[in-house]
Structure 1
Amino acid sequence: MTNGDQLDQNIEQGSKQLANAVGNQAKKAGKKVGKKLAAKLLPILAKFFAATAPFWIILIIVLFTVAAIYSVFPGSPSTPGQDTQQIFFSLADSSENEKVKQYYIEIADKNNFRDAWLNTKFMETNTDILFAGKHEGIYTKEDIINLLDNSTYTGIHGKDAERVLSDYYGLDKAHKIDFGTIHAANLIKILTYGELNTTDEFKEQVGEAFRPYLYYKESTRTYCSLHETDEGPEWVCNTYNVYLLTEADTIKGHYVYEYEWQEDGDEAGTWSSTYEALVSTTLINKEWERLDRWIVELMKNPKEDPTMTRDMLIQAGIGFTEEKENLKWLFEGYYSDHNISSGIVNPALTQYFLLAEEEFGFPVWFLQAIAFIESGFDPEAYNTNTKAFGLMQLTPGTQKYAVDRLAAEYPHLLSEEFIFNYHNTPNKDAEYYKQAVSDPNVNILAGCLDLQSKGLDPTKIDWDGDWQSQTLKALAGYGGHEYVPKKLWSKYGVANTEESYSDEKVLAWAKDNYVQKIWDNAEKFSISTAWPFEGTYEVTANYGQKGNWANGWHTGIDFGMTTGTPLHSVFNGEVWDMGFQGDYGKTVIITNYVYDVWYCHLSEYRVKKGQQVDAGQLIAESGESGRGTGAHLHLEVRPHGGGYGDVINPLSILTINL
């Protein structure tokens, strides 16, 4: 075994020990961090410490493990002047850990609340401006409210909005800080300076430094449908008030979101919807700029490269926050094919797919199938071998070709900021183009241009007929299938190198290896979400409406309807749970492992736990069980495995595919 092999083995062992040290819930994050550390440290250690590498790795592991184990004990002494509240490395069920976790949650909640604004911009109003010289030390939530009450500012703060400020598309959720990220930042300080704990003041400072500045605007969504009455056809319309995120300055980056009014409808003229669609996302500073600056300041070294520390902090934060391994099917193959439909696609991404369909003619379901196979809908997916990036996995050459074409020929599809930056960046290097396609809208549009460059003309495809055979060659090229690998020659009857490049052999291999997966999933993504009931019912309580609920606002939508009204699954999925859920009464939870849809206050069940269901299938009947003021359906949508209050607007998945 070579020194390099031994080092690789030691690092892998170290990854596992580090994962165990940070607890079962953070195990996946520990492994991921370990692999990233291995990739970065291996070349360095192999070069400078080849002979003594095992010793150094063992030493690092011992230090990590001792620090982790020692700090977990509630009785561990703190250094003079530090608070007695202990830091923890594990999420094991203990009163001490729960106490610290709740403290972190309080820090995150008040800082997510602090700068949430309606009808204004970052440069116009934020609490840094308003509170300057008015307060010193740690802010409590009451301090923030009192200071706001005694300040004059433009726009409306979230505390005074009619409803809880929450973006219709759920964009703000990705920008809010969580307890895991705050905790991970404290661990970074502990490991950097060899401390046993951090002060409460430092914990508070992390929350304040990491807080998001979120800015929203008011908008509406109107849905109309044609109903038959005794007097003939009649249009019935419902208009919902929603909030849209327009700007977010976060530790990940400073983003600006732009929208355009759009009207959809069917060819038969039986329904229509009018709403503001998200058309662009623009990063106006360097990605992770705020977080990197914080890391450099923490290290007290302006020459410090924060990349490795940042990766550790982010991945460890995810591991601590996500006590359940949500969406593991994207990475480990546990996902059931039955659950794949348009219902698993983030509504914000669907808007971009719709824009691409309108401009280039590729069906939404076709593009979604490609993105699903290429990236699992991860906008930051990166292939270290090909350097392909983003939803549609664009290689560096494609990134440059497509971005240049979009800027020259399709500027109307791009934001003004994007066009301005493009024309004012004289030296566009590979990093520039990678950053350009990090915008999901640009990435999807660029993917369409790449498909065209592979010879796929959507106007010549019979999308209602044999579209599979007509797309085979272009998809094979898109997936990088240029020749049959030598190890597969016997399987595909290849006799020599020249024959390995023949269309017949390459297409046979590409179909088995890649294209068939896209075809199969395309059929599934053509399945739209369905309404949970037939007809029109009055909305008796809106999502986000403030009132006498456990957390002060309404976590779903209430539809007033008589007991016994048939209710249907909104997407393909399975019955995750059912039974009496306290105030929710009789409840059925349908999941597709991306979203959980809660149907509450039921009178009858029409499914069994674990049963697979299709979009539109009867699952229950409405009622008035549990806490309520009469018969109604409370419809609630949560990220899979999410707890109370971890919700999204149900309309975002119900109406996106109308």
Structure 2
Amino acid sequence: MRGEEELNRLLFGLARTGGRFVRRALITVIGPYLPVIFIFLAFAVILILLVGAVYSAFPGDKSKNIPAILAGVRESEKDKQMLEKYTSLCGKWNRKDTWIVNPGKPSTPNGPNYESSPENPYHPGRGKVEFVGEMIDRYRHDLDLKLTWGEAHAAALFRAYALKRPEITDDEMEKVVKDLHPYFYYKESEVIVCGKDGREKETVYLLVEAYTIRGHFQFHYEWVTETHGEGESAYTITYERFKGMQQILPNQWQRLEDWMKDEYKVGDKDITLARTAVWEASRGFDEGREWLEWLLNNYSAGSFASFAMVPPEYVPFLKEAEERFGVPAWFLAALFQSESSWDPMVVNTRTGCFGISQQHPDYWRERWIRLGFEPPELYQWDPRAQILAGAMVIADYLGDPKQIDWNGDLKKDDRVIRAIAHYKGWANWPNLTWEYLEANAGMDKDIAEEKKQIEIVLGFAEGMQAGAGWPVPGYREISSRFGWRIHPVTGKLKFHEGIDIPAPEGTPVVSVSGGVVTYAGWNDGYGNCVTVRDGQHLYQYAHLSRIDVTEGQTVQPGQLIGAVGSTGVSTGPHLHFGVKDLTRDCWIDPELIVRLQ
């Protein structure tokens, strides 16, 4: 009923502000609808108190990247201890059920693919063949689905309210984390590199299934062979490329909701509201997006953006979308970067739009069916489906993308301006021009915001026409790849967070991306080191013989930043090149960035 719907919307708004306007807002809504919402009132008050408490539970600490959204008025030592406890417990239980389904029998181009299906999943028992004890997915999808300390605390705090507990004990914290921890299933696969010096194989690990509080996901891959380089330096690389994923539960939140019903004694009619409130309370802080906002406030989007910002597993989907709908991959990348920062699981709680391309809740099913993703519910969270759907929509809004001069000044093309405005939900799009936005932005804050949003897309588009480059032009050999290795100096087993590219001392090193130089100087074992950040990644260049950039400077792909050296802990001249995913807060395989462009 309408009263119930309005109360639900009110609760979500209250959740974001900690309940500051509870009395006035409730009176406004309760008056006309008292008979309808009376039975929800007690439960609603609990939810409001819960969310307010979650948001005030912990102080922020920027030096440790501790979310400020949970900051209280005063910082306490107990808060810090609880945060450390949650972080430790989540780290332990996120690794507790990590399994290899095909130990010693890696997937090969002509062999079994070791993937599961909705009819024959690995979870709960079929996939527990060999324990790993680490999250090891090459594409890092496991880090997207791990249990976070914020999720654990929100669930534990709600449990304390429901059970009328005065505090959350260590045992209760561990029980919550244990109950909600994910199950990850991986397969061994091969990466095969063939060049003038022969054939080399490397074993990598790919996530094939994840059973989590966000859903039960299955991941799929396809074998591809790519050729890189020219002439004698040409080589091929054969590997399994991410193809897409499925969420196989009829209700993706079934596991979390079943747990809440059992722990909190919440009824069926209230469970969706309760789950949404708890889930929203755990969201809100994302280091990558905070950094992106800082960049946009201090630099033009075109000055730091490049196609290297695109998560590498999504590049093939953008290229497929370009082929199918005629919209350049770089323009699609700019649009989706502005929409979601590439998060396939993100949901706008105000509009209900979701995913990488922010699909509307009323229209997405029809679009999925048009694209052949059936049943659509199985593929709602599939990045490929989201990207193709977004491309289809913007192509429709553009009219005929082939008639657009993509090499020209896009601000001067009204079709482009109107299509972006339409995609972002601005009602004035039918007659919009850039001249109108410029003339009226200073007099109308809504028009100013609209102009800003369109300008960001166009800025990203300008920068993303430049693809990622290779950091040491003319030298393609990799002497040490990303992953576990015996350290050449210490002789100890250590995870190598990048790749090593040998070259003569003094060989130019160039930026693979656009971005802002965030460090340029000596960095202990890395010697002379430069780091560059864009809206998605941090790029590290280490062991340099000299540095040619300064902190705060913007760089473009291919711009000189230094020279190969052997400074720091090093056995000879080479570049250590690393790439860190800012959203997932982890190092990723740099080859996925520089070889997929």
- The equivalent residue for 1:565 is 507
Q: For the Cα contact (< 8 Å) 2:51–2:277, is it kept in 1?
A: no
Residue 177 of structure 1: SS of its match in structure 2?
Answer: coil
Give the letter for the 1:445 counterpart. Answer: L
Q: For the Cα contact (< 8 Å) 1:461–1:470, is it kept in 2?
A: no
What is the 5 A alignment of 1:474-493? Answer: 475=419, 478-479=422-423
What is the 5 A alignment of 1:306-317? Answer: 306-317=271-282
String of CA shifts for 1:195-221, please: whole Å, max 9, x gaps. Answer: 232233222222222222112223344
Between 173-182 and 536-545, report the one with greater CA deviation: 536-545
Residue 496 of structure 2: SS of its match in structure 1?
Answer: coil
2:516 corresponds to 1:534: no
Q: For the Cα contact (< 8 Å) 2:485–2:493, is it kept in 1?
A: no
- The equivalent residue for 1:596 is 538
Alpha-carbon offset, residue 571 of structure 1: 0.7
2:254 corresponds to 1:289: yes
Distance 1:99 1:115 in 2: 26
Q: For the Cα contact (< 8 Å) 1:216–1:246, is it kept in 2?
A: yes
Q: For the Cα contact (< 8 Å) 1:577–1:588, is it kept in 2?
A: yes
- The equivalent residue for 1:169 is 139
Alpha-carbon offset, residue 390 of structure 1: 3.5
String of CA shifts for 1:607-649, please: whole Å, max 9, x gaps. Answer: 1111111112121233333334444333222233987xx3222
Alpha-carbon offset, residue 532 of structure 1: 1.6
Q: For the Cα contact (< 8 Å) 1:124–1:154, is it kept in 2?
A: no
What is the 5 A alignment of 1:459-498? Answer: 459=402, 463-464=406-407, 469=413, 471-472=415-416, 475=419, 478-479=422-423
Q: For the Cα contact (< 8 Å) 2:18–2:55, is it kept in 1?
A: no
What is the 5 A alignment of 1:347-362? Answer: 347-362=312-327
String of CA shifts for 1:403-442, please: whole Å, max 9, x gaps. Answer: 23222xxxxxxxxxx54x36xxxxxxxxx5xx75443211
Distance 1:245 1:68, change over 3 A: closer
String of CA shifts for 1:91-110, please: whole Å, max 9, x gaps. Answer: 98765444433332332222
Match among 327, 331, 344 for residue 290 of structure 2: 327
String of CA shifts for 1:136-187, please: whole Å, max 9, x gaps. Answer: xxxxxxxxxxxxxxxxx8643325xxxx652222211111123333233222
Superposed CA RMSD in Å reads 5.0
- The equivalent residue for 2:580 is 638
- Identity %, equivalent residues: 28
Give the letter for the 2:305 counterpart. Answer: I
Alpha-carbon offset, residue 445 of structure 1: 1.8
2:132 corresponds to 1:158: yes
- The equivalent residue for 1:253 is 215
String of CA shifts for 1:512-567, please: whole Å, max 9, x gaps. Answer: 68766544432222111112212335434332215568995232223344443322
TM-score of the aligned structures, taking structure 2 as reference length: 0.73
Give the letter for the 1:575 counterpart. Answer: V
Match among 516, 522, 525 for residue 580 of structure 1: 522
Q: For the Cα contact (< 8 Å) 1:68–1:89, is it kept in 2?
A: no
Distance 1:241 1:491 in 2: 56
Distance 2:239 2:477 in 1: 20
What is the 5 A alignment of 1:47-446? Answer: 47=32, 96-120=78-102, 129=125, 155-159=129-133, 166-221=136-191, 241-264=203-226, 274-285=238-249, 286-303=251-268, 305-318=270-283, 326-327=289-290, 329=292, 334=297, 336=299, 337=301, 338-380=303-345, 388-395=353-360, 398-407=363-372, 419=374, 421=375, 436-446=379-389
Q: For the Cα contact (< 8 Å) 1:343–1:653, is it kept in 2?
A: yes
2:565 corresponds to 1:623: yes
Q: For the Cα contact (< 8 Å) 1:454–1:477, is it kept in 2?
A: no
- The equivalent residue for 2:589 is 649
Give the letter for the 1:214 counterpart. Answer: F
Match among 473, 496, 507 for residue 554 of structure 1: 496
Q: For the Cα contact (< 8 Å) 2:309–2:534, is it kept in 1?
A: yes
Alpha-carbon offset, residue 33 of structure 1: 6.6
The alignment of Structure 1 onto Structure 2 pairs a total of residues equal to 541
Q: For the Cα contact (< 8 Å) 1:330–1:376, is it kept in 2?
A: no
Distance 2:371 2:358 in 1: 17
Alpha-carbon offset, residue 394 of structure 1: 3.7
Distance 1:218 1:521, change over 3 A: same
String of CA shifts for 1:421-479, please: whole Å, max 9, x gaps. Answer: 36xxxxxxxxx5xx754432112222333345446344555545688749548726853
Alpha-carbon offset, residue 280 of structure 1: 1.9
Q: For the Cα contact (< 8 Å) 2:260–2:266, is it kept in 1?
A: no
Q: For the Cα contact (< 8 Å) 2:419–2:429, is it kept in 1?
A: no
Distance 1:170 1:487, change over 3 A: closer
Distance 1:512 1:552, change over 3 A: closer
Give the gaps of 5 or more residues in structure 1: 1-6, 16-29, 74-87, 131-152, 226-233, 408-417, 423-431, 493-507
Instruction: Work out which of the two has the higher radius of gyration on C-alpha atoms and give 1 or 2.
Output: 1
Give the letter for the 2:266 counterpart. Answer: N
Residue 519 of structure 2: SS of its match in structure 1?
Answer: strand
Distance 1:546 1:484, change over 3 A: closer
Alpha-carbon offset, residue 279 of structure 1: 2.2
Distance 1:629 1:41 in 2: 69
Distance 1:579 1:572 in 2: 19
TM-score of the aligned structures, taking structure 1 as reference length: 0.67
Q: For the Cα contact (< 8 Å) 1:475–1:515, is it kept in 2?
A: no
Distance 1:447 1:95, change over 3 A: closer
Give the gaps of 5 or more residues in structure 2: 1-6, 60-69, 103-114, 438-446
